[in-house]
């Protein structure tokens, strides 16, 4: 991954005992927005 350590420290995260619903589009958009990426579609 081409990013620095500080950016990873500030990245959106979650409690390992309370995983997010990774199918939730709001959660997905937040993560992609932070990293400036697009979701992978394989349809």
**pLDDT single digits (tens) 8-37:** 899 988 889 999 998 899 999 999 999 898
**DSSP characters over 1-43:** ----HHHHHTS----TTS---TT-HHHHHHHHHHHT-------
The band of 39, judged by pLDDT with boundaries at 50, 70 and 90, is confident
The band of 43, judged by pLDDT with boundaries at 50, 70 and 90, is low
The least confident of 1-5, 6-10, 35-39 is 1-5
Task: Give the per-residue pLDDT at 32.
Answer: 92
The CA distance from 11 to 19, in Å, is 15
The CA distance from 9 to 21, in Å, is 21
């Amino acid at each position: 991954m081409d990013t620095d350590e500080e950016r990873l420290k500030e990245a959106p995260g979650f409690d390992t005992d309370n995983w997010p619903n990774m199918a939730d589009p709001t959660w997905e958009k937040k993560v992609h927005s932070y990293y400036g990426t697009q979701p992978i579609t394989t349809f």
